[in-house]
Amino acid sequence: MGKAFIRGERTLVKTRAELDTMRHAGRILAQTQQRLRELAQPGANTLFLDQVAEETIREAGATPSFKGYNGYPATICAQVNDVVVHGIPREDELLAEGDIFGVDLGVCFEGYHGDAAFTVGVGEIDAEAQRLLDVTREARDLGIEQVRPGATIRDIARAVQEHAEAAGFGVVRALVGHGIGSSIHEPPQIPNFVEKGNRAVYGLKLESGMALAIEPMINAGSADVYQDSDGWTVRTADGSLSAHFEHTVAVTDEGHWILTEP
């Protein structure tokens, strides 16, 4: 779940036992995502997919991280076409052939969270929509490749931004990735861009035991977004498509460990 960019936060380092618990949450999350990918077909409604996600998580002995968080009413964030993040699932929102559909999902197990997102095509999608999905997923993976002790937040942000903008896409500035652990949102902030000027967060050095939710939100057009009147749904300002990919990643002595892989 993307977070607004704020300043002046400290970092939180986890023990190996805490990271192992987060990894268990990540496995449950990955299994839930796979089920949703299978069901994201033309005619499916997003509220049904939300119900499937909640049932899958609870049957695994975990709880949805997002439901009730600051009043959010659902288990998943359902992101269809121009929805960037935080779309509320609805029974009357039906997926259609050619749509792109994103799911942002959090899982809490024994007090620790995992957070991950994916975007898929519904049926056959056009080549430009597929390129947006591919580039956004690649940008996330390039960001993850930077994660190791001694690297900085700037290294992650630059890798994501350069790949997305080289493809001609807009990198959302209004929302960023974040630290994660016993809270779904923890420091530090993880921007997907490097702005001019000196934001202290960019120079923050990664250390073993940190856990990060790295989540590029990339628009086919302008980077600008707006929020719907529901107080949650964020859309592209120009109506262009938006894609979202995310993993929860731990910094290790050897480099990094993706906690939300299958």
Give the integer Cα–Cα distance in Å for 184 and 163. Answer: 27
Q: Provide the token pair at 178.
A: 């974040």
- Whether 179 has a pLDDT exceeding 90, the answer reads yes
pLDDT at 199: 73
Rounded mean pLDDT, 51-78: 98
Burial 80-90 (b: 16+ CB within 10 A, else e): bbbbbbbbbbe
Query: What is the pLDDT averaged over residues 175-185?
Result: 97
Cα 30 to Cα 6, 77, 137, 247, 261: the distances in Å are 29, 15, 16, 10, 6
Q: What does the pLDDT look like over 101-147, one tens digit per residue?
A: 999 999 999 999 999 999 999 999 999 999 999 999 999 999 999 99
Q: Write down the pLDDT at residue 2.
A: 64
User: Is it the case that residue 150 has pLDDT exceeding 50?
Assistant: yes
The per-residue pLDDT for 196 is 78
- Encode pLDDT of 191-237 as tens digits: 999 987 667 789 999 999 999 999 999 999 999 999 999 999 999 99
- Residue 8, pLDDT above cutoff 90: no
pLDDT > 80? residue 6:
no
Q: Note the pLDDT tens digit of each residue in 21-58.
A: 999 999 999 999 999 999 999 999 999 999 999 999 99
Q: What is the set of domains in the chain, with CATH numbers?
A: 3-258 (3.90.230.10)
pLDDT, position 5:
41
Amino acid (one-letter) located at 210: M
Nearest-5° Cα angle at 242, 223 to 190: 65
The stretch 83-98 carries a mean pLDDT of: 98
Cα dihedral 188, 197, 135, 23, rounded to 10, equals -10
Output the pTM of the full model. Answer: 0.94
* Element housing 105 (H / E): strand 100-109
Name which of 106, 107, 114, 105 is nearest 22 in CA terms. Answer: 114
For residue 65, pLDDT beyond 50? yes
**3-class DSSP assignment, residue 127:** helix
For 13, 93, 180, 215, 219, the CA distances from 189, given in Å and listed in that order, are: 14, 32, 10, 11, 20
pLDDT in the model for residue 242: 98
